[in-house]
Structure 1
Amino acid sequence: MSQMQVRLSPDSPQEHWGRGPLSFDANSATIHIAGETSSQLRTIRKAARLLDGLGPEEILFAGDWQKEQQWAFASSFSNPKKQARFHWCEDQHKSVLEKQYQAMLFTRQLINRTPEDIFPESLANEVTDWLSGLAGKAVTARSIKGEALKQAGWVGIYHVGRGSDRPPVLLELDYNPSGDADAPVAAALVGKGITFDSGGYSIKASEGMLSMKCDMGGAATVAGGLGLAIMQGLNKRVKLFLCCAENLISGHAYKLGDILTYKNGVTVEVVNTDAEGRLVLADGLMAAGETGAPLILDAATLTGAAIMALGGEYNALFALDKNTQDRIRQIAEQEQEPAWPLPLENWHQEMCPSPYADTANSRPMKGGGAGGASNAAGFLSRFVPNRGKGWVHIDLASAFNNTATSTMPAGASAQGIRTIARALLEA
């Protein structure tokens, strides 16, 4: 196994190394950083991508590194084909970094797996197994699948997933470290688990469908965040709801013009079968609301509109409760996971009208029309309790890159797990 020592220097590299951030000697590579913290971290990320191309499998952080500098390098260096071994600095941050890296690898590897490997039941099972391995008897779980979803009234997950031979699943996982069945639920997490999204009868083009193994990124991210919080000593009860389905075409698939009646009485006309994520999340949000949790976080690779608004490096935040939204934004900033609020008001519930139902699931135009990300969040807000108090929706615009960038490898980023974990610890 090849090992490389990597150091940091505030000095500029010698001219013969060019204008890049790297220089080399016989034993190590040096990353030359300057400027403010955010610029330094970006330089480190770019250097990590360049060094990844040289093929080392083991990295020794030599000299003085801060915690976030090590994390920036590690998260940008590791790629889907190679999970490198890191020798973290021997200081008070080593244990934290080891736990973050474990949670990041779980999240990334789950998202990067093929849709043949990860389907609704296997997604629910792998999350349950991983969290049970971390927390033992503190974790209990049950899955409702297939026709049982319809009988239980979880119509969104059922109808989106009924076109596949592999049945849809609602996973309810209870992390209850006290063991007290009457312990209050401090927080509830909801994740979109569309293990493959063809678009259904509103079928995607091949170039848009190619990366749709990542459409369960929300489920993986909330699971990764919960796992990280458990490793960091979470002592509060948290419930996790994963809304898992394959959105495929068959003679049994749901269709344009169908009307779904949810458990809360809201009727929804399907005007776009490729706007399926909000249909399954509606069930998860209602289930989360039934727990009485004062904090509800949902995460989803929900809209291309969020990516158009923020690019691929920020996640989008939506909330009717602006105080909770601001708290999550501040946590994201402190955890070096960029996130930014986009508009959501009560009137966004009205932005997908239907002549046949209380609402449509989108607008019958490309991308859902103007304000598509806010309109999707407005749809979700119909299904949360207490007029949205304590609820934040995270549209994971930065969850996945199908090709590598100058700062991140191809595939899943796992951006959001640190934010979720800290929000749980502070709940």
Structure 2
Amino acid sequence: MTDFEVSLSYEPADQQWGESAPLSMHNSGAVIHLAESADIMRTVAVAARTLDNLNLKQVKLCGDWSFDQQWTFAMSYTRARSPGTIKWADTDDKSRLENHYAAMCFTRQLVNDTPEDLSPENLASRAADWLKELGGEHVNVSMTTGEALKDAGWMGIYNVGRGSERPPVLLEVDYNPTGDPQAPVDAVLVGKGITFDSGGYSIKSSEGMLDMKCDMGGAATVTGALGLAITSGLKKRVTLLLCCAENLISGHAYKLGDVITYKNGVTVEVVNTDAEGRLVLADGLLRAGELGTPLIIDAATLTGAAMVALGKDYHGVFSMDEQARNKMLDAARAENEKFWPLPLEPFHKNRCPSAFADTANSVAQKGGGGGGASNAAGFLARFVNPEGKGWVHLDLAAAYQGGATAELPVGATAKGIRSIARMIQDF
């Protein structure tokens, strides 16, 4: 196969390609012109999308490319269905790029798979198998499934998932490269793994349900991040917890007005079965607390309110621990990923009041009312230590594109895997 060569130039394109054209063609490929670009990475991304739309089988990056320029090209060039392959530029970054790209592709594939193919058990098994492949003997896996969740007291995952014929799962993956079974756990990653979200009895509209295969984007993102950290030489002990369920309607599904009692004694009235993500994450956070770790990061496609605030460009960052929040933002800046802080104060714990339980799981109002993303984070704050020390909540507004844009293909983005991998390495 003849390579389609793509190079960078800081000279303007010939006039025949148009004024300030970002892209020109020649016999063996294309040139991306950065000369007059105010935003070089956006120019690379837009050019990559243009080339991807040509349905090329393979491209070769030629000449002088930085790591981030190649990564940006790959993020934009790699479409969801039958993507073309990329040959990296001849630089010292090849091995690092291959590891990053593998984590990106794994993350995107999980999110883009059909909800029929990706049941809760399938999500858990695929995440575990990939991490075992990367971590070998350092990886140990346990799964709590179906009725065993109720027996173990993981009532959030159990109740959200019990309406489906395909059972819910709590996956626990222990990556321990120290060789010491008594080594402390340095960090815990918790991911929302709702493999399809109908909304339950608070049912979504048809168009609102179309992209709900992506509601396990948090689980995919933290799995991709841990895999990336492992291949980057992670020496710390890290536990991954995936809270996996299908939120469906049946005669056995949970209902509005139900009260769920959690392991820590907190009672929760269900006022919206479409606010299910926080119910399953609560179990994951409780389990993370049992492990005595100094750092907990949870990630979820949790609220539409985060997308209203941030669009689909940034992930929302919530923490009551200023140091942890700042370190998360520093990690994102170092990895050139867009994260943005949103408010979380102790009073947000009380923003979902209930007359029948300690709290409701939302406000009985469309979209969760004003400040919905912060209120959801406040709900989760009930399931970590009272001061929220060492806990960071990520609302992944930028995890999925319902349609292609000038910069990104349709579907999963895998944005965030780099920042989370750096955070658990540097914290």
What is the TM-score with the length of structure 2 in the denominator? Answer: 0.98
Match in the other structure for 1:113: 113
Amino acid at match of 1:307: M
Q: Output the CA distance in 1 between the equivalents of 2:215 and 2:183.
A: 33
Match in the other structure for 1:68: 68
Tell me, what secondary structure is at the counterpart of 1:392?
strand
Match in the other structure for 2:206: 206
Does the aligned pair in 2 maintain the 1:192–1:216 contact within 8 Å? yes
Match in the other structure for 1:368: 368
Does the aligned pair in 1 maintain the 2:55–2:84 contact within 8 Å? no
Amino acid at match of 1:22: L
Match in the other structure for 2:379: 379
Amino acid at match of 2:362: S
Does the aligned pair in 1 maintain the 2:12–2:36 contact within 8 Å? no
Tell me, what secondary structure is at the counterpart of 2:387?
helix
Q: Output the CA distance in 1 between the equivalents of 2:251 and 2:323.
A: 46
Q: Output the CA distance in 2 between the equivalents of 1:336 and 1:4.
A: 27
Tell me, what secondary structure is at the counterpart of 1:192?
strand
Q: What are the residue-to-residue correspondences of 1:92-241 with 2, within 5 Å? A: 92-241=92-241
Match in the other structure for 1:423: 423
Q: Output the CA distance in 1 between the equivalents of 2:231 and 2:247.
A: 33
Q: Output the CA distance in 2 between the equivalents of 1:94 and 1:336.
A: 19
Aligned-residue sequence identity (percent) comes to 60
Q: Output the CA distance in 2 between the equivalents of 1:98 and 1:407.
A: 21
Residue 16 of structure 1: how far off its partner (Å): 1.4
Tell me, what secondary structure is at the counterpart of 1:42?
helix
Amino acid at match of 1:25: H
Match in the other structure for 1:25: 26
Does the aligned pair in 1 maintain the 2:189–2:222 contact within 8 Å? yes
Does the aligned pair in 2 maintain the 1:255–1:273 contact within 8 Å? yes
Residue 336 of structure 1: how far off its partner (Å): 1.4
Q: Output the CA distance in 1 between the equivalents of 2:319 and 2:2.
A: 47
Tell me, what secondary structure is at the counterpart of 1:185?
coil
1:252-296 deviation digits (Å, cap 9, x = unpaired): 000000001111111100000000000000000010111111010
Amino acid at match of 1:135: G
Deviating more after overlay: 57-66 vs 152-161: 57-66
Residue 82 of structure 1: how far off its partner (Å): 2.4
Residue 83 of structure 1: how far off its partner (Å): 3.0
Instruction: Confirm or deny that 1:333 pairs with 2:333.
Output: yes
Instruction: Confirm or deny that 1:44 pairs with 2:50.
Output: no
Q: Output the CA distance in 1 between the equivalents of 2:4 and 2:303.
A: 40
Cα distance, 1:60–1:374 mapped onto 2, change above 3 Å: same
Cα distance, 1:55–1:376 mapped onto 2, change above 3 Å: same
Match in the other structure for 1:77: 77
Residue 84 of structure 1: how far off its partner (Å): 2.6
| Residues paired across the two proteins, number | 426
Match in the other structure for 1:266: 266
Q: What are the residue-to-residue correspondences of 1:389-400 with 2, within 5 Å? A: 389-400=389-400
Q: Output the CA distance in 1 between the equivalents of 2:310 and 2:57.
A: 33
Cα distance, 1:316–1:34 mapped onto 2, change above 3 Å: farther
Q: Output the CA distance in 1 between the equivalents of 2:18 and 2:322.
A: 48
Tell me, what secondary structure is at the counterpart of 2:299?
strand
Does the aligned pair in 2 maintain the 1:299–1:395 contact within 8 Å? yes
Q: Output the CA distance in 2 between the equivalents of 1:198 and 1:18.
A: 47
Tell me, what secondary structure is at the counterpart of 1:388?
coil
Tell me, what secondary structure is at the counterpart of 1:194?
strand
Amino acid at match of 2:22: P
Tell me, what secondary structure is at the counterpart of 1:43?
helix
Amino acid at match of 1:30: V
Q: Output the CA distance in 1 between the equivalents of 2:242 and 2:146.
A: 14
What is the TM-score with the length of structure 1 in the denominator? Answer: 0.98
Tell me, what secondary structure is at the counterpart of 2:86?
strand
Deviating more after overlay: 39-48 vs 174-183: 174-183
Residue 2 of structure 1: how far off its partner (Å): 5.6
Residue 386 of structure 1: how far off its partner (Å): 5.0
Q: Output the CA distance in 2 between the equivalents of 1:2 and 1:314.
A: 38
Cα distance, 1:88–1:149 mapped onto 2, change above 3 Å: same
Does the aligned pair in 1 maintain the 2:62–2:90 contact within 8 Å? no
Tell me, what secondary structure is at the counterpart of 2:186?
strand
Amino acid at match of 1:382: R
Q: Output the CA distance in 2 between the equivalents of 1:280 and 1:224.
A: 20
Cα distance, 1:17–1:258 mapped onto 2, change above 3 Å: same
Does the aligned pair in 2 maintain the 1:3–1:56 contact within 8 Å? no
Residue 3 of structure 1: how far off its partner (Å): 2.7
Amino acid at match of 2:340: W
Cα distance, 1:367–1:111 mapped onto 2, change above 3 Å: same
Q: Output the CA distance in 1 between the equivalents of 2:120 and 2:159.
A: 14
Residue 35 of structure 1: how far off its partner (Å): 5.8
Q: Output the CA distance in 2 between the equivalents of 1:117 and 1:424.
A: 31
Amino acid at match of 1:73: F
Amino acid at match of 2:294: P
1:302-349 deviation digits (Å, cap 9, x = unpaired): 001101100101100000001110111111111111000000000001
Q: Output the CA distance in 1 between the equivalents of 2:90 and 2:4.
A: 17
Q: Output the CA distance in 1 between the equivalents of 2:388 and 2:239.
A: 18
Residue 209 of structure 1: how far off its partner (Å): 0.3
Match in the other structure for 1:281: 281
